[in-house]
């Protein structure tokens, strides 16, 4: 399998649930990203990882917790979310972390918080 994959593609959860989003890249890249895409809003960068170390955290609420166990996998752990957190969550990867390289995106996870 090639490119960037994300699972699940769709997720519905209650405000008290705990769930995790998974991203896997098969491109041999060193950097991975989480983005949030809400309806009618610009795409927002949430987290950046370079060689498994977090290098960027754009004031994201603590109910979102990223984890990068290795350079190919990235998780986003979710707990006690709010309905306004419903959005499309996109994962991306690139060769380098300084955004000079093209980013490759996964298909996204459509999250609905009830």
Among 58, 61, 77, 112, binds other proteins (CB under 8 A): 58
The footprint of other proteins on residues 18-47 (CB under 8 A) is: 40-45
Binding status of residue 66 toward other proteins by CB under 8 A: no
Binding status of residue 52 toward other proteins by CB under 8 A: no
Q: Residue 58 or 112: which CB sits closer to other proteins?
A: 58
Of 11-19, 67-75, 79-87, 104-112, the segment contacting other proteins by CB under 8 A is 104-112
Could you give the angle at the alpha carbon of 58 between the alpha carbons of 54 and 63, nearest 5°? 85
Q: Are 57 and 10 in contact (CB under 8 A)?
A: no
SS3 of residue 34 by DSSP: strand
Q: What is the DSSP letter of 88?
A: E
Q: Cβ 84 to other proteins, closest distance in Å?
A: 18
């Amino acid at each position: 399998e090639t490119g960037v994959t994300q699972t699940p593609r769709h997720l519905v959860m209650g405000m008290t649930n705990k769930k995790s989003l998974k991203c896997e890249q098969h491109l041999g890249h060193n950097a991975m990203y989480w983005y949030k895409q809400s309806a009618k809003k610009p795409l927002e960068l949430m987290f950046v990882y370079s060689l498994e170390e977090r290098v960027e955290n754009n004031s994201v609420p603590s109910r979102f917790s990223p984890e990068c166990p290795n350079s190919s996998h990235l998780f986003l752990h979710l707990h006690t979310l709010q309905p306004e957190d419903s959005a499309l969550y996109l994962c991306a990867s690139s060769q380098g972390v300084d955004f000079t390289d093209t980013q490759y995106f996964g298909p996204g996870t459509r999250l609905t918080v009830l």
